[in-house]
């Protein structure tokens, strides 16, 4: 996406959001597009490249999608066209396929069974083989996303109902998928049997139901009786009715993504019965237990590290304060900065509060170091504000391996921890000390009752041990050749 590293956003040292999906069905159809809009708006943090909504009135599907933020893509004029009873939506960060208009979701096709629209959060590790099968059968592909592969496979599947067709197709898909499907008279949600990505369903107070990647979107709409879509489960929403069907047995070893708790999910979301904010506080507490250091103040790198800094402060007894103020909009601008400003790097994104840092020994809490492009400039920013010492603490283990299940962390060669020891990383970023949370400590903070075993979670990016073979996993841009 950023062929010239100088054009990367100032916070590009984080793993990138994977996408958000949303679906809603009501018996009355009033304000269906508005419900979808506000559901996606609550999931904006999961992807800012593009957004789309498809709506069915029972006969015909209408869709609008484009590049940009949800609030820019949808206007009163475009929303006025989206009338119906059933809707799905998507907010995108590209994880397979380039950031190109042809890859914006939902994908909409006409089939012998009527219109079909699909939106997807996750990555299939066998997408390349599935794509080749479609091409060999004479299918024409117009995009370079694995979501198009899912859509075409489903469109061609046999079966009496869309639920039957899904059940027949699911066994061929290996990897992560939290999927929403729009047919002319219903919406369907399905989650992979490993449970990589979150997905929940709730009842709308005015009638009907909604499905979303995170519970925060359902809470925004006032949903009641919120529960998880189970791994391997198909959930059908049709007006005021909801039906649930266990299409695939859940995997023996579940593989929830730990990074949902560390960084991705909104802090007010709940997953696996756990509030994300509280888990992040426990990550900070565990970090203080494992790698405490004498200091005068604990500061977070906003925003995802704020709960962890609170937890670190509470456990260590060292006061917590703001040390960095974040400009939340600079990463979304379409105006290219001058070379002078570009050279200032993180100063475009963060300002230091010298009054809280001058003469202080500072502990700076961040959620992760990926490429290492931001940590060094942030340490310098804090030092330039007058800090006498800067100790960096990270709320997860070193990221040594790429993700193949829907998180854009870059390739193994891009990852700082894959190339350098912790001490070499410390010297490179210029910190007085650097420490990462241990794998056991992170798992203990997420699920204390399992004693740090990590049972039920995917920690492949920290260990290289994935829940399934990833030899076939395609690089992000591997399908771009002919359609570039």
Contact in structure between 201 and 27 (CB atoms under 8 Å): no
Pairing label, strands 256-257, 457-458: parallel
DSSP 451: T
CB-based burial label for 335 (10 Å; 0-12, 13-18, 19+) = exposed
| SS3 of residue 375 by DSSP | helix
Separation of alpha carbons 310 and 280, rounded Å = 9
Tokens of 421: 């020891």
Q: Which of 19, 223, 403, 461 is catalytic?
A: 19
Cα–Cα distances (Å) from 298 to 309, 322, 323, 361, 374, in that order, read: 6, 8, 8, 9, 19
Residue bearing tokens 């939106």: 119
Q: Please say whether the dihedral angle defined by the alpha carbons of residues 256, 257, 261 and 266, taken in this order, is positive or negative.
A: negative
* Backbone torsions φ then ψ of 110, nearest 5 degrees: -95, 135
How long is the chain?
A: 484
DSSP 184: T
Sorted by sequence, the CB contacts under 8 Å of residue 76 that are 6+ apart come out as none
Sorted by sequence, the CB contacts under 8 Å of residue 464 that are 6+ apart come out as 400, 401
Contact in structure between 396 and 436 (CB atoms under 8 Å): yes
Separation of alpha carbons 349 and 203, rounded Å = 39
> Would residue 19 show up in a list of annotated catalytic residues for this protein?
yes
Q: Report the DSSP beta bridge partners of residue 202.
A: 210
Of 221, 22, 261, 258, the closest CA to residue 120 belongs to 22
Residue bearing tokens 């593009």: 50
Contact in structure between 276 and 266 (CB atoms under 8 Å): yes
Q: CB atoms < 10 A from the CB of 379, how many?
A: 23
Chain centroid to CA 9: 17
Chain centroid to CA 372: 20
Residues noted as catalytic = 19
């Amino acid at each position: 996406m950023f062929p010239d590293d100088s054009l990367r956003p100032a916070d590009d040292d984080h793993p990138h959001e994977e996408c958000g999906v949303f679906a809603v069905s009501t018996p009355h159809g009033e304000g269906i597009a508005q419900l979808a809009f506000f559901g996606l708006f609550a999931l904006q943090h999961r992807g800012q490249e593009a957004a789309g909504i498809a709506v069915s009135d029972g006969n015909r599907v209408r869709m609008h999608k484009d590049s940009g933020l949800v609030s820019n893509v949808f206007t009163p004029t475009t929303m006025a066209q989206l009338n119906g009873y059933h809707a799905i939506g998507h907010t995108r960060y590209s994880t397979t396929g380039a950031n190109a208009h042809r890859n914006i979701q939902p994908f909409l096709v006409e089939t012998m069974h009527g219109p079909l629209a699909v939106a997807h959060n996750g990555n299939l590790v066998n997408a390349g083989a599935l794509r080749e099968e479609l091409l060999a059968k004479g299918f024409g592909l117009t995009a370079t996303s694995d979501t198009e592969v899912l859509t075409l496979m489903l469109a061609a599947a046999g079966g009496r109902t869309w639920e039957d067709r899904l059940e027949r197709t699911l066994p061929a898909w290996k990897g992560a998928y939290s999927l929403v499907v729009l047919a002319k008279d219903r919406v369907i949600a399905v989650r992979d049997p490993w449970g990589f990505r979150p997905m929940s369903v709730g009842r709308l107070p005015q009638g009907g139901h909604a499905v979303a990647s995170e519970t925060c979107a359902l809470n925004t709409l006032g949903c009641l009786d919120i529960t998880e879509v189970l791994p391997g489960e198909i959930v059908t929403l049709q007006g005021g009715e909801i039906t649930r069907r266990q299409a695939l047995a859940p995997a023996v070893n579940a593989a929830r993504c730990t990074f949902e708790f560390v960084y991705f999910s909104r802090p007010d979301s709940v997953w696996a019965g756990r509030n994300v904010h509280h888990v992040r506080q426990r990550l900070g507490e565990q970090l203080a237990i494992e790698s405490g250091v004498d200091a005068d103040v604990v500061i977070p790198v906003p925003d995802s590290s704020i709960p962890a800094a609170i937890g670190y402060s509470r456990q260590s007894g060292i006061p917590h304060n703001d040390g960095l103020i974040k400009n939340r909009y600079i990463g979304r601008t379409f105006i290219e900065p001058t070379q002078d400003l570009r050279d200032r790097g993180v100063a475009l994104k963060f300002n230091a509060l010298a009054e809280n840092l001058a003469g202080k020994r500072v502990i700076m809490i961040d959620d992760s170091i990926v490429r290492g492009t931001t940590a060094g400039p942030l340490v310098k920013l804090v030092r330039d504000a007058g800090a006498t010492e800067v100790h960096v603490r990270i709320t997860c283990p070193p990221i040594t391996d790429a993700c193949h299940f829907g998180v854009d962390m870059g390739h193994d060669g891009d990852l700082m921890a894959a190339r350098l020891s912790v001490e070499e990383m410390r010297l490179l970023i210029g910190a007085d000390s650097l420490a990462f949370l241990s794998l056991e400590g992170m798992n203990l903070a997420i699920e204390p009752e399992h004693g740090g075993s990590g049972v039920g979670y995917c920690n492949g990016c920290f260990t290289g041990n994935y829940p399934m073979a990833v030899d076939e996993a395609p690089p992000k841009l591997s399908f771009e050749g002919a359609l570039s």
